[in-house]
Amino acid sequence: MIRIRTPAPDETFGIIFVVILLLGAFGWGYNIVKLIGADTLTGLEIARIIGIFFAPLGTILGYL
C-alpha cells in the first residue's frame, strides 16, 4: 500500500498565505513600474498613485 503524506492544515494555510503575499507584492511593484511608464495622467494613473500608498488597491491595479 502506498501512503501519500498530505500537509497539515496549518502548513497549507502558511503556503497559501505566502503565495498570496508574493502575488500581492508583485502586483504592487508592477503597479509602480506601469505608473513610471505612463505618458498621460488619466483616472487610472491617479488610482495607481493612490494605490502606491494604499497597498490593497495597488495590488489589484498592478494586474490591470
| Structure confidence by residue, pLDDT tens digits, 20-59 | 888 888 888 888 888 898 888 888 888 888 888 887 777 7
User: Is 8 part of a structural domain of the chain?
Assistant: no
Q: Determine, yes or no, domain membership for 2.
A: no
Residue 32 lies in a domain: yes
The domain in which residue 29 lies consists of 19-62
Q: Is the pTM of this model over 0.85?
A: no
* Residue 44 covered by a domain: yes
Question: Which pLDDT score is estimated for 64?
Answer: 67
- 9 within a domain of the structure (yes/no): no
Burial class, 49, CB count within 10 angstroms (exposed 0-12 / middle 13-18 / buried 19+): middle
Any domain includes 12: no
In a domain, 30, yes or no: yes
Q: Would residue 57 count as lying in a domain?
A: yes
The pLDDT value recorded for residue 60 is: 72
Count of domains forming the chain: 1
Contact 55, 28 (CB under 8 A): yes
29: Cα separation from own chain's centroid: 8
pLDDT bin (cut points 50, 70, 90) of residue 7 is: low
CA separation for the pair 5, 48 (Å, rounded)? 44
